[in-house]
A and B are shown apart, each in its own frame.
Chain A
Amino acid sequence: MGIITISREFGSGGETVARFVAEKTRFLLVNKDTINEGLTEYGIEEPSGDPEKTVTGEESEQAVREYLEAMHNYIYDLAIRNNLVILGRGGSILFRDYPPALHVRVIARFTDRVQRVMKLYDLNSETAVKLVKEKDHEKRLYYRRVFDVNWNSVREYELVLNTGTMGLEDAADIIVAAYRIHSEPREVRDGPSGPDIENGILTPSAEEEADKFMHPSEEEFAHMLDFYRIRWDYEPRTFLLEWDSEGNVVEAFSPDFYLPDQDLYIELTTQKPKQAWRKNRKIRRMKELYPEVNVRLIDKKGFESLLKKHRIEEDEGEYR
């Protein structure tokens, strides 16, 4: 899954930039409308009060919460099978823990944005100023409310583009080029069958490869999958498991491996059963929240028998 997220200031032309990027990369463009369309098929409607607007009352809080959860799950599910350009919706935060993703922020000076809005919606200067201010406020609230982050923080992004001083298609070209550079090491990492193994300077050395794994058992498991020519991704996706009352993520889970051909997530644990309860609980929770996702836990015993079965012991023959 390739991911480009584009967050934009109202009036910066970010929407058009996103459309250009999607066209140039042939990634699927995901915005508020496509998400709501998709969710409608599951019978989920966006609460009448747009979550970007202030909603009061416990009931609507609950509705908003459920909608946001469904929306986030929907985006994650889309991302499994598709390359995405995600416009807005907090995409950069949803995929913050997914290093290959490129997070872009499109901005422009206030006056430039007002100018663009005047032209685009045929408004007078006064109305345009009011609209831009309103929208900025709404977006700030949305990010605070849903993710508890400062929307204006540029540290959330790999790339910040000012469309006040460049054309929108040029901005899109820069994003596409940046994405290629940014995501290439990961393409290489996809295993021996992956492309561009000898493709020059971006290929990480074997040592660097090994460093990417959290645990030696994961590396060994990866070698075994390579041996059987089974494609895998290492920790490609984070599943959000628990939110506090304000919608901040308090628990998440990134299974170690994803096998795309099997459509299966695998979590390895070499902890003793008594210490593995936390992981077991996470997997249970994940199965509840994401029943359509296949996940399998390989525990200490299972992992040992797997390796022992497939490994020559010193001075002795193999098993079976």
Chain B
Amino acid sequence: MSDKKSYREDRLKILLTQEQIEEKITAMGKKISADYAGKELILIGVLRGSTYFLVDLTRKMSIPFAIDFISISTYGEQSDSADVVRITKDLDLSITGKHVLIVEDIVDTGLSLGYLLRNLKTRNPAGLKICTLLNVEARRIVEVPVEYRGFDLPNIFVVGYGLDYKERYRNLQFIAEFDRP
């Protein structure tokens, strides 16, 4: 498949413009700064989709914080059917007694996030909340409490602003509905 063919712009329908996204993130950064003022906050980015959002979100924040990243395996990565979800890149920081905010690009089924919550809870943080740019309630299987959400989306497939299709489109400045081949 040539790059040209797989990057066809006509498959993209812009849903959220760069301006809309920035406006929303500014508001979220402000809210989080107010809520966590005076608390020891660790932002945890879930690799890899949330990196763009995490970086821009922190630029809109006015309080001190630490950043760490975590990555977990996803279903289908291994052909072994006996495989189970596990952490592939763990946190470097200890979160015990700290206020933790998980930063996600998108929350849909809640399957992987549910696992992450269960895992992080055992480390006894002082607080454990979720912040996501996009939320697709229609796909939820495991209920996860989302404290901060940017946009609610219907059950569609989107790319851009960190979200990829086969590692492509992450660097788009907007978010678009993607018509999958």
Contact = CB atoms under 8 A, between A and B. Distances in A.
Contacts of A306: 109, 139
Interface stretch (A64-72, A91-99, A102-110, A226-234): A226-234
Contacts of B85: 227-229
Interface string B131-156: 00000001111110000000000010
Interface residues of B, number: 30
A316 interface: yes
A41 B49 CA distance: 51
Nearest to B105: A320
B111 A302 contact: no
A165 B129 CA distance: 64
B165 A319 contact: yes
A192 B81 CA distance: 11
Interface stretch (B20-28, B29-37, B61-69, B72-80): B72-80
Nearest to A307: B76
Interface of B is mostly: loop
Interface string B93-137: 000000000000000110110110000000000000000000000
B109 A318 contact: no
A81 interface: no
Contacts of A310: 74-76
B103 to A, nearest CB: 16
Nearest to A264: B141
Contacts of A230: 111, 114, 142
Contacts of A259: 141-142
Nearest to B166: A317
Contacts of A298: 141
Contact of B114 (A223, A228, A266): A228
B180 interface: yes
Contacts, number: 69
B33 to A, nearest CB: 29
B112 A228 contact: yes
Contacts of B157: 305
Listed residue (B75, B139, B157, B163) with the most chain A CB atoms within 10 angstroms of its CB? B75
Interface in B14-59: 49
B133 to A, nearest CB: 13
A302 B83 contact: no
A245 interface: no
Given A301-B155, A302-B138, A318-B77, A192 B82 contact: yes
Contacts of A312: 76-77
A56 interface: no
A223 B83 CA distance: 9
Contacts of B165: 319-320
B83 A227 contact: yes
A312 B74 CA distance: 10
A298 B75 CA distance: 18
Given A227-B85, A228-B112, A311-B75, 7 more contacts: A192-B82, A192-B84, A230-B142, A264-B141, A266-B141, A302-B155, A310-B74
Interface of A: 192, 223-230, 259, 262, 264, 266, 296, 298, 301-302, 305-306, 308-313, 316-320
21 contacts: A225-B111, A227-B83, A228-B75, A228-B142, A229-B84, A259-B142, A262-B142, A266-B141, A296-B140, A296-B141, A310-B74, A310-B76, A311-B75, A311-B76, A312-B76, A312-B77, A318-B74, A318-B76, A318-B77, A319-B164, A320-B165
